[in-house]
Structure 1
Amino acid sequence: MAAAKRISDEPAYVLHSYDWSESSLILEVFCRRQGRVALVAKGAKKPSSNFRPVLLPLQPLLLTYSLAGDGAGDIHTLKGAEWVGGHVMPTGDALLSGLYLNELLLRLLARADAHTGLFDVYAGVVRVLASEHGDALEPVLRSFELLLLRDLGLLPTLDAETATLATLRPEGRYTLVAEGGLRMASQADRASLSGSQWRALQKALDEAASYTATLRACAPVSAELKPQLRAVLQYHCGSPVLRTRQLMMDLQSL
């Protein structure tokens, strides 16, 4: 009988885990080369398990797992997990923000669809969340949302009106909507950006170092960008409302 094929030393992050049996877990992980993968971690709930202290969200890992059957199975078997180190677990608002990003990836990424560049961006964002991030938190989140939408083909070009393809006027006000892309803003719109601001975002996205450039471009417009991107993301995630977002709203109302 042929030995099961293995994926070894794969950079990954745990997005979510849930009980599979009294002693085991099912993990949803985001791998650099393999994309989103489901793994069973046998015995991971046992106090003596080597997996128990390692399989945490927002921590950089190297995973080894064997492919189910001919490799086409949905759930593979975890064989090894090593913490790479480098930063501590985010706390407070940064922790909630990281769990929000994890929920976006769970909702929007297809299984076994690699997004190497997005993985590297996510790893950079997690490092910021675990640091003394200060005022960088909101721009970091907005830049990740933009890059996620772009990678999935869900972001329209940001230097022209979507319906007419007309170039944005620098002084005009435009809003991003889920079903119509970029359009002229009306008085009913909660948030909008100027044409020059949208064009600056598109220019940043087009740069080779798009994460760094987009982060800089998002910094002055994060507050206006936030409700627009959140509405687009929620539209593509479908119902219900993202659990982490609902938790944030509930905490803000206390």
Structure 2
Amino acid sequence: MATSSRRISDEPGFVLHRYDWSESSLILEVFTRHHGRVALVAKGAKRPSSNFRPVLLPLQPLRLAFGGDAEIRTLKGAEWVGGQVMPTGDALLSGYYLNELLLRLLARDDPHPGLFEAYASAVQVLSWEHGEALQPALRAFELLLLREIGLLPALDMQTLALAPLQPEGRYSLVPEGGLVEAAAGDGRASLSGAQWMGLERALRQPAPFGATIREAAAVIAGLKPQLRALLHYHCGVTTLRTRQLMMDLQAL
């Protein structure tokens, strides 16, 4: 999508990552509701007197103004919306994990307003620090991200055979073939046909994030390794950086 030289104002967004650009400025990767992932230069943001300095934090809802017609546009304004606290502990690392997924899988300047709403809802769950809701929220967001960018097949039929699922049958989601019938003794994680169809119905709801959390909560153990393998396959890595950090911290 071509960039626009017009100024964008009052745009909902989140900071995904920030890089040093000079002694006083930053390059930001932000996720916005109407413009997708956008790169911005925040001039002077590292100066102690900068109004940007206390605002440009990850996992916090912002209102942004920016403009320019280059690949990296210029941040003109940023305002904290408020309403939620910064996640801590495992929730903070989980938020960085979501950000890494967006950075790896979303192209710049490709709007995904529905995915933005799911991300905002997931970050809100993380800010509550509800341990029991953390894993279902992550799995729900992974499913919605994969569906939004066309990497998740329909979950109510076998992908290659185009055959309907049997409610009592067992099926595995594999990177190379989509949803396939699970073979006895192959060691792959699987879910029942009824469970996969429940997830598909949730993903098609008008408010899919909440519905998918409820379905995912009942199948976490089987769903997590299948989604992890699919995400690693499409990200081109064996382990995401934030996941490796989580494992390293747990080993201390």
Query: Which range, TM-score by smaller chain?
Result: over 0.9
Mapping for residues 105-144 of structure 1, pairs under 5 Å: 105-144=102-141
- Following TM superposition, by how much is the alpha carbon of 1:197 offset from its aligned partner in structure 2, in angstroms? 0.4
**Counterpart secondary structure, 2:219:** helix
Q: Distance in 1 between matches of 2:129 and 2:43?
A: 36
Match of 1:231 among 204, 229, 234: 229
- Following TM superposition, by how much is the alpha carbon of 1:38 offset from its aligned partner in structure 2, in angstroms? 0.2
Aligned equivalent of 2:218: 220
Whether the 8 Å CA contact 1:175–1:189 is kept in 2: the answer is no
Q: Distance in 2 between matches of 1:55 and 1:64?
A: 13
Whether the 8 Å CA contact 2:65–2:77 is kept in 1: the answer is yes
Aligned equivalent of 2:172: 175
Q: Give the partner amino acid of 2:131.
A: G
**Counterpart secondary structure, 2:83:** coil
Aligned equivalent of 2:16: 15
Whether the 8 Å CA contact 2:175–2:233 is kept in 1: the answer is yes
Match of 1:195 among 186, 193, 196: 193
Match of 2:161 among 164, 168, 173: 164
Q: Distance in 1 between matches of 2:42 and 2:57?
A: 12
Mapping for residues 1-40 of structure 1, pairs under 5 Å: 5-40=6-41
CA RMSD of aligned residues (A): 1.1
**Counterpart secondary structure, 2:40:** strand
- Following TM superposition, by how much is the alpha carbon of 1:253 offset from its aligned partner in structure 2, in angstroms? 2.6
CA 1:253–1:224: 2 relative to 1, 3 Å: same
**Counterpart secondary structure, 1:120:** helix
Whether the 8 Å CA contact 2:16–2:29 is kept in 1: the answer is yes
**Counterpart secondary structure, 1:130:** helix
Aligned equivalent of 2:63: 62
- Report % sequence identity: 70
**Counterpart secondary structure, 2:87:** coil
Q: Which runs of 5+ in 2 are unaligned?
A: none
Deviates more, 1:244-253 or 1:123-132: 244-253
- Following TM superposition, by how much is the alpha carbon of 1:93 offset from its aligned partner in structure 2, in angstroms? 0.4
- Following TM superposition, by how much is the alpha carbon of 1:190 offset from its aligned partner in structure 2, in angstroms? 3.6
Aligned equivalent of 2:148: 151
Q: Give the partner amino acid of 1:150.
A: R
CA 1:240–1:53: 2 relative to 1, 3 Å: farther
**Counterpart secondary structure, 1:8:** strand
Whether the 8 Å CA contact 1:66–1:76 is kept in 2: the answer is yes
Q: Give the partner amino acid of 2:171.
A: Y
- Following TM superposition, by how much is the alpha carbon of 1:213 offset from its aligned partner in structure 2, in angstroms? 1.3
- Following TM superposition, by how much is the alpha carbon of 1:78 offset from its aligned partner in structure 2, in angstroms? 0.6
Whether the 8 Å CA contact 2:16–2:30 is kept in 1: the answer is yes
The answer as to 2:77 corresponding to 1:76 is no
**Superposition TM-score, scaled by structure 1 size:** 0.94
Q: Distance in 2 between matches of 1:97 and 1:246?
A: 12
**Counterpart secondary structure, 2:128:** coil
Q: Which runs of 5+ in 1 are unaligned?
A: none
Tell me the alpha carbon deviations over residues 58-110 of structure 1, each in whole angstroms, 9 at most, x when there is no partner.
0000011112xxx3x21000111100000110000000000000000000111
Whether the 8 Å CA contact 2:13–2:32 is kept in 1: the answer is yes
Whether the 8 Å CA contact 2:18–2:26 is kept in 1: the answer is yes
**Superposition TM-score, scaled by structure 2 size:** 0.95
Tell me the alpha carbon deviations over residues 149-177 of structure 1, each in whole angstroms, 9 at most, x when there is no partner.
00001000101111101111111111101
Whether the 8 Å CA contact 2:140–2:212 is kept in 1: the answer is yes
Q: How many residues align?
A: 247
Q: Distance in 2 between matches of 1:249 and 1:233?
A: 17
Q: Give the partner amino acid of 2:104.
A: R
